[in-house]
Amino acid sequence: MSSPASFSDREKVVSKLPGWLRQNLRVRAAQCGIDIQAAVEQGIRDWCDLASTVQTIDTSGADSFATLLPPGQWEEFRQIAADRRVSLIQGLAQSVQLWLDANPAPDVARPEITRRIIVCNQKGGVGKTAITAGLGEALSEDSNALYPVRVAKALAQALRASEAQGDDTEPVDDPLDIENLPGPGLKVLLVDFDPQCHLTNQLGATPLPMNGDSLTNHMAGEPKGDLRDLIVSVDEDVFGGRLHLLPACNDAFLLDVRLSAVRAREAALERALAPLESDYDVIIVDCPPSLGLSMDAAAYYGRRRDAERAGQSGALIVVQAEDSSADAYELLTTQIDDLRGDLQIDIDYLGIVVNLYDSRRGYIATSSLQGWVDIKDPRVVGLIGDLKEQKEAVRVKRALLSYAPKSQQAVGMRALAREVL
């Protein structure tokens, strides 16, 4: 098989393709990491080499399709199509379908051990819940569809851009590249571990009643049923049944008290969620702003297990670009480090997400962002702007990536998901 010609010496050709086939080509090329032009070139080459005709394709509704091919290939294709008494549109459609058949969609890469992500910070109001939801939504998007993703080739670019604008200037364009990429297609469980029930309410679910079953009951060793019966699906039309939520209950306000009487209380969350792990690729826990026993249990659940690679599970820390987040960060990391030492376990930091960022707030925002970037370990893996779409999604109780899938915040959540992956 000859290699595709370099793109610099190609010639532009224009024909037609039906919209469904063009979309399939875009998605499959992205899934396989192949340029569309190279895919079409290979499909035409294989079609020209066929010894027999192939099945006719419905090309009704075909509209303009342009691509770049090596010099001479289109003329050769035109001649072979004429010899076979096939229209150029039909021949091109058969060529594209031939390439699709030869390059099936890759299987979704599923982890051998369910990944457990603990979204945390002792300080309230930093947006842990929004990050939990956005990350889960991005991880569960369809692997057979394309979504705009901000490719974070250099977070420093965004930092430099923010430093270049003063308090009185308009925001500069996001300097990071945007690509259309397939969704990860993972099965995700979001766990609302906060008694305030913010995640449950934001996604339009109903908090569990105080007199019923709950995660708290299971952690305290007093279950009233199967935890699976409490789980609800999130926006099935958009996420295809891959995104689920374990709602919270106000009884979690009493969790620390109830855990104080539980044996091996640091493993209480793991004991409760372990039966669910075979159903999911990723479990994301939205932690309360607490340094109590519940946070110990969450951190322990995110520890690195035997045979699990470093960085697969662990703590994702959400902060803002302001001074009080730094104080809370120190309290949280001290607690996690103490737990590491006391129990002799490995708890990995998956990174820092700087949330609700707005460079127009001036020196405090930009210098604080620089401070987070300078930490290096854990590194900054996400920068999410303080924009209206997230607030609107919360108001209408919708998932952000369903409500505003092309917004800058949605694009940033997808970038975060790929950094965590």
Which pLDDT value is given to residue 326?
A: 80
The pLDDT score that the predictor gives to residue 384 is 93
Cβ proximity of 377 and 408 under 8 Å: no
Q: What's the pLDDT tens digit per position in 107-124?
A: 998 999 999 999 998 888
**Domain ranges within the chain, ordered by starting residue:** 7-102, 115-420
The predicted structure's pLDDT at residue 152: 56
**pTM listed for this prediction:** 0.89
Q: Are 7 and 37 in contact (CB under 8 A)?
A: yes
Q: Which residues of the chain have pLDDT under 70?
A: 1-8, 151-176
3-state secondary structure the chain: CCCCCCHHHCEEEEEEECHHHHHHHHHHHHHHCCCHHHHHHHHHHHHHCCCCCCCCCCCCCCEEEEEEECCCHHHHHHHHHHHCCCCHHHHHHHHHHHHHHHCCCCCCCCCCCCEEEEEECCCCCCCHHHHHHHHHHHHCCCCCCEEEEEECCCHHHHHHHHHHCCCCCCCCCCCCEEEEEECCCCCEEEEECCCCCHHHHHCCCCCECCCCCCHHHHHCCCCCCCHHHHCEECCHHHHCCCEEEECCEHHHHHHHHHHCCCCCHHHHHHHHHHHHHHHCCEEEEECCCCCCHHHHHHHHHCCCCCCCCCCCCEEEEEECCCHHHHHHHHHHHHHHHHHHHHHCCCCCEEEEEEEEECHHHCHHHHHHHHHHHHHCCCCEEEEEECCHHHHHHHHCCCCHHHHCCCCHHHHHHHHHHHHHC
* Residue 335 falls in which region: left (phi positive, over 0), alpha (psi -120 to 50) or beta: alpha
- Residue pair 141/147 in contact (Cβ under 8 Å)? The answer is yes
* Residue whose entry in the numeric block shows the structure tokens 């459609």: 93
In CATH, what number does 115-420 get?
3.40.50.300
- Crossing angle of helices 19-32 and 88-102, in 10° steps, is 30
